[in-house]
Chains A and B, each alone.
Chain A
Amino acid sequence: MEIKLWINDKLIIDNVEPDTPMLEYLRDKGCYSIKRGCETSNCGLCTVWLEGKPILSCTLPLMRADGKHITTLEGLRKEAAEFGEFLADEGAEQCGFCNPGFIMNVLAMERDIENPSDDDIKEYLSGNLCRCTGYTGQFRAVKKYIAYKRGVKADE
């Protein structure tokens, strides 16, 4: 089937099998940040944005993105690094394998919620599993990042 979509703002017109999963297709296109951690939509490692909204690319057929924009961490490297610095300063990137999906959701949350409470943060990110950190260091990083972003916005 023919598909037309944008990956990180780059237009792609392709011919694919109708059952092509989005995750594997995006990796084939060089978006290696996206990882598969499970087969049951539980881990959040494969989180990308479809039209700016976070979705799990493991279970979504690629055809659902026809005519739409997909954003991966490869398209958000500057922002990823901006938040990543906070994560790194907590030592909370650890093995790094969950980082891309987690960071996609953190960046989405930062856009979505004006002043997220502690519970908002935990709920918004609850679909992103991490086995290294016990989440505590990630939580500190997110809090500091949100405060930083609000400070930057307040200054503007």
Chain B
Amino acid sequence: MSESKAINKPIRKKDAMTLVTGKPVYCDDLAPKDCLIIKLLRSPHPHALIDDINTSIAEKVPGIEAIYTYKDVPNNRFTNAGQTYPEASPYDRLILEKRVRYVGDPVAIVAGENEKAVDKALKLIKVKYEVLEPVLDFRQAKDNEILVHPEDNWKSLCPVGADNKRNLCAHEVSENGDLEKAFSQCDAIVEETYHTQANQQAMMETFRAYATKDVYNRLTIVSATQVTFHVRRIVATALGIPKTDVRVIKPRIGGGFGAKQTAVMEVYPAFVTYMTGKNSKLVYTREETQTASSPRHEMEIKLKIGATKDGIIKAIDMYTLSNTGAYGEHGPTTVGLSGHKAIALYSRADAYRFVYDVVYTNIMAAGAYRGYGAPQGIFAVESAIDELAHKLDIDPARFREMNITKEGDVMPAYYGETANSCALDRCLDRVKEMIDWDNKYPARDMGNGKIRSVGMALALQGSCISNLDVGSVALKVNDDGFYSLMIGASDMGTGCDTILAQMAADCMCCDVDNIVVQGVDTDTSPYDSGSYASSTTYITGMAVVKTCAALTEKIKKYGALLMGCDEKDVDFNGKEVYRISNDEKISLKDIANSSMCNSSNALYASEGHASPVSPPPFMAGAVEIEIDTETGKVELIDYKAVVDCGTVINPNLARVQTEGGIGQGIGMALYEDINYNDNGGTRSNSFMQYKIPTRQDICPVEVDFESSYEPTGPFGAKSIGEIVINTPPPAIANAVYNAVGVRIRELPITSEKVYRGIKDED
């Protein structure tokens, strides 16, 4: 193989110029003009039974095509979670149901020729509810006499400790070492409770999908989704129709961040088109996207960490209570990351224990959001590490250096995997240098009522779901020797189509422009579990490497056949197949064109990949802040981040991932908060009530990479997509403490909390 031409190069995304010129490439741009408009009537109650629902007047509104209620839908329970079958998330949903479980739960589907008619019909549907008492406090949910899912056909497909008769969506205990003994050797122990709020992914494109019947009369759903193949299974299961009848296509999508790893609304247009035979579409409003979607799980984490007076961490004990809301999408799986990732940062401890409960409540269901449980656990652990360092009077950076996981360490909390590639120590060193830690820690009084301080945090994530995720691609040789790479993973703006093409280009020794990419269509794309769990670079990337190797063999074999020599006597250099023993050669162009004329050799390969391990990327983040002691306002001055994602496939895209993840982490740290009124309704129903960072809120962010080489990854790569969101909440919380001695253990870190803390200190 010749020197790398594409890997580690800041190559433009293949779709970049299309996107910046505003071409119509998204779901709603592509929807047929004659689509029926769908809207959903939603429950005003957090918990109720529909006593009576009368749609007869609404149906008379001119232009109304159909109105469906719970009486019209199949009684097949399913989950909207985009996960590999059998899903860990329980089958606890129907398309519509007599029981409604949160304010916003769909009650009726209305489809009509235009929006005005549909709006009018929505107002004319008469519903009589039997209002039930809800479970709104997740701390009271487990074993509460009020059950969110009392139904007998609720089912859990996997042994995740779920029990609907206890409001339990999952429960597990894992441990390693003698915890009691380890704590008995500790001179200092921190034992605190941390709380992380629910956040919205707030991707700019709200949830949307349209459905049509294709030329073969099959139900075709075009959806802004990260999980194209899972949507096919979910829709078929929900509608109770054969999977052969469903086709799903993913166009360009306007951001996902995990939100679109749940099939939040695809079943509704699918059902309408299935029933009516007509095209239909559903575009969620921002309000619906804020109130009836799939946000981050709220978690409460009780954490106990102990160390010796010399600063050696001996034991970590964590209990996580996670709030999955009304339905269990991603409930049993997100919670695991709060411990397995966070505790693994300090794998040298003698013992750990990690216990969790995931509970149902009568609020909007949670789902997958970048980090997937890790940000919650890392906020707790990285806050507690600072608290413990302060107790021991050790610089928190030094305390971390003494205890972090290093290359070659076994990580008991991380499924017993070994850190075969780990530059966390170098990330920490470098971030200290970038923020000028030794000069700036802990704080300096600016003399004007303001104090500047620094704070840091570390992070760890996965590179896939080990022993589960599947990636596969197909590569074929076309006229004159250009390649098409068929991808089943969803590029959601991150650029995976491009980085996979970069890998293919290096494998095939050609220019990236010689690789065209296409995806995703469940009828034609090779199977991929989807773009989540940070897996595309690592898993689908490895599928590219394997596929290219297989295609190279086919090209060599056919080249040898054309030259009339033994295939063992030839090699391929990207441009031609040549004989090793003499100068004879045949160009790829001639091979390609020859394969399309009187040839029985298909120059096509497709390979899949799964992995028994999920090598963690690592990261160190450090922030400098300024606190106004009069008001408690936290202003960000600077953010520095160093990431070990293994080999960086595309430095531009990896950097933007990092900057963007930090931006979202800052929002989580400082103000983003889904909160509820006493009736269980979401107050945070718009960008007015749910503030995401604007460009005036983000401080300068500087990113650097300290690369390790992951032996099991493509070109030594690990993942980047999720780890980057983890450091801001604890780094900022630690900086606040370093400035004013106020420890915020409940996110978000609002000025009010800081101000009250300062006043209490006085």
Contact = CB atoms under 8 A, between A and B. Distances in A.
B346 to A, nearest CB: 28
Interface stretch (B57-65, B392-400, B618-626, B658-666): B658-666
A92 B658 CA distance: 12
9 smallest beta-carbon distances between A and B, as pairs: A95-B493, A134-B663, A33-B22, A84-B20, A96-B19, A97-B254, A32-B24, A91-B652, A42-B687
B26 A97 contact: yes
Interface in B1-30: 10, 12-13, 15-26, 29
B257 A93 contact: no
Contacts of B204: 35, 37, 43, 45, 95, 97-98, 129-132
Interface string B16-54: 111111111110010000000000000000000000000
A38 B19 contact: no
B82 to A, nearest CB: 18
B660 A94 contact: yes
B75 interface: no
Nearest to A95: B493
A134 B664 contact: yes
Given A89-B12, A90-B656, 11 more contacts: A84-B20, A90-B652, A94-B493, A95-B253, A95-B492, A100-B22, A122-B696, A125-B695, A129-B204, A134-B659, A139-B695
24 contacts: A32-B24, A33-B23, A42-B686, A43-B204, A43-B687, A77-B22, A80-B22, A88-B12, A88-B20, A90-B652, A90-B656, A91-B653, A95-B19, A95-B203, A95-B493, A97-B26, A122-B696, A129-B692, A131-B692, A132-B660, A134-B661, A136-B700, A137-B652, A139-B695
State the majority secondary structure of interface residues on A: loop
B202 interface: yes
B21 A84 contact: yes
Contact of B17 (A33, A40, A42, A88): A88
A97 B694 contact: no
B18 to A, nearest CB: 8
Contacts of A97: 26, 203-205, 254-255, 493
B656 A133 contact: yes
B430 interface: no
B20 A133 contact: no
Contacts of B314: none
A14 interface: no
Interface centre among B22, B253, B255, B692 (most CB of A within 10 A): B22
B179 to A, nearest CB: 39
Contacts of A81: 17, 20-21
A72 B23 CA distance: 12
Given A94-B494, A131-B202, A84 B16 contact: yes
Given A81-B17, A95-B493, A97-B26, A131 B687 contact: no
A87 interface: yes
Q: How large is the interface on B (under 10, 10 to 19, 20 to 34, 35 or more residues)?
A: 35 or more
Nearest to B24: A32
B495 interface: yes
Contacts of B252: 95-96
Interface in A89-145: 89-100, 103, 122-123, 125-139
Contacts of B694: 126-127, 129, 135
A125 B357 CA distance: 44
B655 interface: yes
A74 B201 CA distance: 29
B701 interface: yes
B215 interface: no
Contact of A137 (B15, B22, B285, B655): B655
A93 B696 contact: no
A45 B695 CA distance: 15
B758 interface: no
A91 B720 CA distance: 15
Given A81-B17, A91-B652, A91-B653, A134 B257 contact: no
B165 interface: no
Contacts of A49: none
A65 B19 CA distance: 27
A63 interface: no
Interface centre among A45, A96, A129, A130 (most CB of B within 10 A): A96
B430 to A, nearest CB: 18
B273 interface: no
Contacts of B693: 134-135
Interface residues of A, number: 52
Interface in B689-709: 692-696, 698, 700-701
A35 B701 CA distance: 28
A97 B287 CA distance: 18
B254 A137 contact: no
A25 to B, nearest CB: 13
A128 to B, nearest CB: 8
Nearest to A119: B696
A139 B202 CA distance: 21
Contacts of B688: 40, 42
Interface centre among A74, A125, A136 (most CB of B within 10 A): A136
A93 B498 CA distance: 13
Nearest to A34: B22
A73 interface: yes
Contacts of A123: 696
Contacts of A90: 652, 656
A109 to B, nearest CB: 12
Contacts of A87: 16, 20
A72 B693 CA distance: 26
B206 interface: yes
B650 interface: yes
Contacts of B696: 122-123, 126
Contacts of B17: 81, 84-85, 88
Contacts of A43: 204, 286, 687
Nearest to B255: A95
B10 A91 contact: yes
B20 A93 contact: yes
A93 B660 CA distance: 12
Contacts of B10: 89, 91
A136 B659 contact: yes
Nearest to B688: A40
B660 A134 contact: yes
Contacts of B659: 133-137
Nearest to B15: A96
Nearest to B16: A88
Given A103-B20, A123-B696, A40 B495 contact: no
Contacts of A72: 22
Interface string B245-265: 000000011110100000000
Contacts of A136: 656, 659, 663, 698, 700-701
B652 A134 contact: no
A2 interface: no
Contacts of A85: 17, 20
Contact of A133 (B663, B666, B692): B663
